[in-house]
Amino acid sequence: MKNTNSKKLVQDPPFRVIEAFYQNWVAGVEEGGSGVNIHLTFSEKDADVLIQNIYFRNAILEAKGNINAPNKFVGYLTNNTKRDVIIDADPMKEAKNTISDEFPFQLKDNEAVVEYWYGGKKNYYKIGNISQRDMIPYPQANPNQHE
């Protein structure tokens, strides 16, 4: 279990978030799944800042950058339909189930925390009031294949 106090939030980060939104999506093909993408755009970001992860909806998402837009990052949250939990009459088989770490932040559905490196230290910054955009339906394709 992680101690929430070990991840202190920074109040004045070396960047400014100019746009933050999330967007639900659903695939129209079997096994295509569904999920939420969170988009963050920064301005005035110090060159030494390395954006690493986005904590959103009880998940830690890799912040994927864009070569053509270096201040834009996306985190992809996929709703898993399959569970990797072993249920068996044999308790030794069930013991192979792993317990995930407790999520380190208490966030509302429209809040996220950005994990970033700056000055050789890992830091955390909370973003609130993230807007929701209209859902994207992918009627013929699995959106995960387009990453």
pLDDT digits (tens, 9 = 90+) for 126-143: 999 999 999 877 666 555
Cα separation, 52 vs 64, in Å, equals 8
- Give the structural domain span for 32: 4-146
**Beta-bridge mates of residue 16:** 43
Sign of CA dihedral 77, 79, 84, 87: positive
Q: What is the mean pLDDT of residues 117-131?
A: 97
**What order of strands is seen across the sheet that includes strand 64-66?**
64-66, 69-79, 34-43, 16-27, 131-138
pLDDT at 1 over 50: no
Which pTM value belongs to this model?
Answer: 0.77
Number of domains in the chain: 1
In this structure, the dihedral spanned by the alpha carbons of residues 120, 68, 61 and 131, taken in order and rounded to 10 degrees, is 110
pLDDT at 3 over 50: no
Q: For position 2, what pLDDT does the model report?
A: 43
Q: For position 102, what pLDDT does the model report?
A: 82
Q: For position 33, what pLDDT does the model report?
A: 84
